């Protein structure tokens, strides 16, 4: 677990403490995705062929989908399961809303 408490700058009210392994895994995935996006930018800047860029964009989309799957699975196993055990049924509505957004 992280040693210092970090404020969430992008969410309205909830935070989540993650294990050190989960934290590192998520950040490593995001770092790889950032690298891929920088690579795509360089491809555009150096006038690479369109289909080569499209293939790389597809790879980034797949990496983001994989990130979402890992994060969603962790969320269900921890936050959702704990809230259901505590009788917080509104968490189910929240999960349904998130799944609907993800499936657009």
Q: How many CA atoms lie within 13 A of 36 on its CB side?
A: 19
Q: Which helix (H) or strand (E) holds 21?
A: helix 20-45
- Is 44 a member of any domain? yes
**pLDDT tens, residue by residue, 61-77:** 999 999 999 999 999 99
CATH number reported for the structural domain that contains residue 50 in this entry: 1.20.58.1000
- Is 53 a member of any domain? yes
Largest CA distance in the chain: 56
What domain range includes position 60? 20-102
Q: Does pLDDT of 14 surpass 90?
A: no
User: What is the percent of the chain with per-residue pLDDT over 90, rounded to a whole number?
Assistant: 82
- Is 30 a member of any domain? yes
**pLDDT tens, residue by residue, 17-62:** 899 999 999 999 999 999 999 999 999 999 999 999 999 999 999 9
pLDDT value for 2 = 46
The number of folded domains in the chain is 1
């Amino acid at each position: 677990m992280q040693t210092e408490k970090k404020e969430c700058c992008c969410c309205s009210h909830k935070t989540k403490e993650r294990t050190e392994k989960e934290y590192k895994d998520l950040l490593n995935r995001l770092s790889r995705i950032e690298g891929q996006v920088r690579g795509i930018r360089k491809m555009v800047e150096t006038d690479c062929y369109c289909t080569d860029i499209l293939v790389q964009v597809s790879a980034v989309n797949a990496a983001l989908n994989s990130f979402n799957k890992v994060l969603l699975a962790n969320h269900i196993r921890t936050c959702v399961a704990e809230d259901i055990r505590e009788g917080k049924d509104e968490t189910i509505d929240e999960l349904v809303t998130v799944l609907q957004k993800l499936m657009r």
